[in-house]
Amino acid sequence: MGTDTLTWNASDGHTYAATDATARIAVDANGRISGWVYLDTNNNGRRDADEIGLPGAVLRLSRKDGQGHWVELAGISPVLTAADGSYVFDNLPPGTYEIRQAVPPSNYLDGKDTAGSLGGTVGTDRIFDITLGANSQGTDYLFGKLGLRSRLVSQRLFLASTPAASQILRSLDRPPSIDLNGPENPGNDSTATYTVGGAAVPIAAADGPHGNPLGATVTDAQDGWLASMTLTLGSRPDGDAEMLAADTSGTNLQASYRSGVLTLQGAAPAGDYQKVLRSVTYWNTAPTPTAGKRIIAVRASDGVTTSGLVTATVTIYGGNSTTDLRASDQAPAALDYVLEDLDHWLAE
């Protein structure tokens, strides 16, 4: 079930009431609209068996309100196409819908778009006036691409040793990039200090006034959108007392923290991920926290490729120093092992 809003006004034949009246009513919200963004090599507007899907395309879903305006469905839209090029909008109430390509894949020439099983009107990078009944499903809403733009075509694509088309297309997608300490500082990693009994500390650089270095950056050179980000505490001697938290207000991102891993999810511009990353903090509620260093590994995905690994090192002072990891001949090797292990785990 879902809710819908009914708005009305009253008139005595001469004037209308000063304010509208509204009511929220329960409606079935079990509908679904799905489809594909794909490489339509023969430009026939149908997804043939040998035509591959395109991952990482951004699609938005809007529903027509009582005044005839298209209103995007918060919490449902936008979405990114999956690895096979498919997309799904679930838990939809009855109504009239529009699907729109917010960010068409930039490496490809535009092709034919095709309305699916419930019909609709095809426009430029949009399919609209899709009538969805209670508990009904609309399938095969297609957004076709003709092929690669000329700047990406080279002789190697026609060699016998050329890999499968899906591998080639994936290789053309440039991965996201993360800089935890800001563009005005060397390197991409960051450091922070946590004092026992103190407030939670940011793990990444934030914008500051009066010429302070710029904050942490998150970019995606391909289409500017991301699907997820993970921040992983590689060692937690104090167990669940060690926490990472993020402020997602003002974005459509969802944050969850479990067993040392903070996960940010949602189709959103890289700028939204950057905003949330700058808010991430480390906190330790153990009565006597274990002093030493904590390594937080950070990676982002655009739904096709994954960024390189960057790390935030939080050093804890003032706690139980019996296991303090201090600068010594052993420390660099130990830290390298932790990073190598994290990199292998995240790659899987």
pLDDT tens digits in sequence order for the chain, 348 residues long: 445 555 656 666 666 666 666 655 555 679 999 999 999 989 999 999 989 898 889 999 999 999 999 999 998 999 999 989 999 999 999 999 999 998 777 778 889 999 999 999 999 999 999 999 999 999 999 999 987 754 544 444 444 444 455 555 555 677 899 999 988 788 899 999 999 988 999 999 987 655 555 799 999 877 789 999 999 999 899 999 999 999 999 999 999 999 999 999 999 999 999 999 999 999 999 999 999 999 999 999 998 889 999 999 999 987 665 443 333 333 334 444 444 444 544 444
Q: To 10 degrees, the CA torsion angle through 216, 219, 224, 228?
A: -70
Per-residue pLDDT tens for 289-348? 999 999 999 999 998 889 999 999 999 987 665 443 333 333 334 444 444 444 544 444
Spell out the domains of the chain, with CATH numbers in brackets.
Answer: 2-154+159-171 (2.60.40.10), 176-347 (2.60.40)
Per-residue pLDDT tens for 239-282? 999 999 999 999 999 999 999 999 999 999 999 999 999 999 99
In the sheet that holds 281-284, the strands lie side by side as: 201-202, 281-284, 242-245
Q: Tell me the C-alpha distance between 147 and 235, whole Å.
A: 46
The distance of Cα 55 from the centroid of its chain, to the nearest Å, equals 13
Q: Tell me the C-alpha distance between 16 and 205, whole Å.
A: 55
